[in-house]
Homo-oligomer: A and B are copies of this chain.
Amino acid sequence: MSSTMAVARSLRRTNPITLVLAGLLSIGFLIFIFSSTDAGPKLHVPGARQLLKSKDAASNALSPPSLPFFKSNLKAGEKAPPPPVVHYHMNNVTNSADPIGNRESVLILTPLARFYEEYWTNLVALNYPHELISLGFIIPKGREGNAATAQLQEQIARTQSSSKRFASITILRQEDEPPLTSQSEHDRHAMSAQKERRAAMSRARNALLFTTLGPTTSWVLWLDSDIVETPHSLIQDLAAFDKPIIVPNCFQRFYDKEKGAMDVRPYDFNSWIDSNTAQNLASKMGPDEILLEGYAEMATYRSLMAYMSHPGGNPKDIVNLDGVGGTALLVKGDVHRDGAMFPPFPFYHLIETEGFAKMAKRLGWSSWGVPNYFVYHYNE
C-alpha cells in the first residue's frame, strides 16, 4: 500500500529527535556548457583530492548545498580583498506553464534507501533541460544506506561526466543508524508502524527540503527512489497545468498469471478527495490519532485518484484533491517557501504528504491530480 516501502525499511524507527545531517556530497560546478568566447568570470575548479585537504572548506553555513566554501589562500601578512557585492535581479523567478521557455529551475528531491538503476535511468532520460535541474538526496546511515550511496555515486560519476549532467547534486547522510526493530511486532500493528514510518519519512523530507531549497527554485519535484518509469516530459507536462501542487497517478506494472501477460494496477492510494465519513472519523479521534488510507478497519470512503483513471482517459483531465501522495509530486517553490512542509505529527489527523496537502491548503494553495497521467512504481 505504501508508496515508499524501500525507504521505509531503513527509515523505520529512525530516532527522529536525534536526526542530524551527517554527510554532504555536493557536486557539479561547471554546468553551462558555454562554448563561446564570452568574457564571463572564470572559476578555478580544484580537484576533489585537493578539496579534501582543506579541513575548513564549507564551514560557511550557506554554501554546502551548492558550492563548497573555499578559504582564501593568502600570503603571510597579505590582506584579503573586500568580498564582492553581487546583486541578483530576481523579478523573474517565475513558475509558469512554460517552464522551459522561461528557463525555470527545478529541484528534484528523493529520499533514498535502496538504489534502483531503473530510477536513475528514468531520471537521466527526463528531457527537461538538465542544466536547470538540481538533485537532492537524503540517505539513512548504516549498511543499506552505504550501499545505496555507493551505487548512487557510481551513477553520478558517469552521468556528470556526460552531456546529460545535472546542474548540481546534494547528498545528505543522516547521522543516526535506524535501530533494529522486531519485524514481527510491527507486523502485528501495521497501522502504528505506518504512522511511525511516515513520521520518520516526514522528518527526512523536511531536512532535505529546508537545506536545499533556494530563493530561485521555481519548482520542486518530489520523486521517490522506487519510481522507475515516467514520461520523459514529466516535469514540463505537469508544470503545464500551472497548479501549485500537482500529482500524477502512481501505478505498478505486474505479470498477470491468469491472462499470461503484463498489466498495470493502482499503487499509491494517498491522493484522494475527502469524504464525510473520513471527516466524521477524524472528529472522534484523539489528538494523536491519524487517518490512514487503505485499511479495511478504517474505511474512509474517500474518492481515490487511483480509481479515477479509465482506458482512453484524457491525460489532461485534472481533479481537485484534498490529500496527495509523494511518489511523484510537483510543487511550486512558493508553496514551500510559504512554509508548507511534511508534518511528522498528526495535522488535522493527517501526516506526511497527506498532511502536506492539508497544510498547503491552510496556506491558501490547492492540490490537483491527473488521473490519466501515469508514473510507475518498482515491483519487488
Contact = CB atoms under 8 A, between A and B. Distances in A.
Interface string A202-218: 11001101111111111
Nearest to A60: B167
Contacts of A342: 339
Contact of A44 (B44, B67, B76, B339): B44
Contacts of A78: 35
Main secondary structure of the interface of A (DSSP, over half): loop
A89 interface: yes
B35 A107 contact: no
Interface in A22-59: 22-48, 50-54, 56-59
B157 A85 contact: yes
Contact of A215 (B24, B75, B339, B345): B24
A126 interface: no
A68 to B, nearest CB: 5
B31 A69 contact: yes
B103 A21 contact: no
B82 A160 contact: yes
Interface stretch (A169-177, A179-187, A260-268, A295-303): A169-177
A9 interface: no
Given A60-B31, A83-B29, A337-B211, A73 B40 contact: yes
A107 B24 CA distance: 18
Contact of A213 (B42, B59, B60, B210): B210
B59 A32 contact: yes
A103 B50 CA distance: 22
Nearest to A78: B35
B337 A62 contact: no
B62 A51 contact: no
A209 B212 contact: no
Number of copies: 2
A77 interface: yes
Given A29-B83, A76-B35, A213-B211, A364 B16 contact: yes
Nearest to A199: B363
Contacts of A168: 60, 62-63
Greatest chain B CB density within 10 A among A106, A172, A337 is at A337
Contacts of A25: 85-88
Contacts of A44: 41-44
Contacts of A89: 23
B105 A210 contact: no
Given A39-B53, A41-B46, A76-B37, A203 B86 contact: no
A280 interface: no
Contacts of A21: 90, 93, 215-216, 337
A39 B51 CA distance: 10
Given A62-B212, A70-B29, A334-B20, A43 B41 contact: no
Contact of A38 (B73, B103, B365): B73
Contact of A33 (B37, B38, B80): B80
A216 B66 CA distance: 12
The 3 closest A-B pairs by CB, nearest first: A82-B161, A206-B339, A63-B66
19 contacts: A21-B93, A29-B70, A29-B84, A34-B56, A35-B78, A37-B75, A42-B44, A43-B44, A48-B85, A52-B86, A58-B86, A60-B105, A61-B134, A62-B134, A62-B136, A83-B160, A207-B338, A211-B217, A339-B341
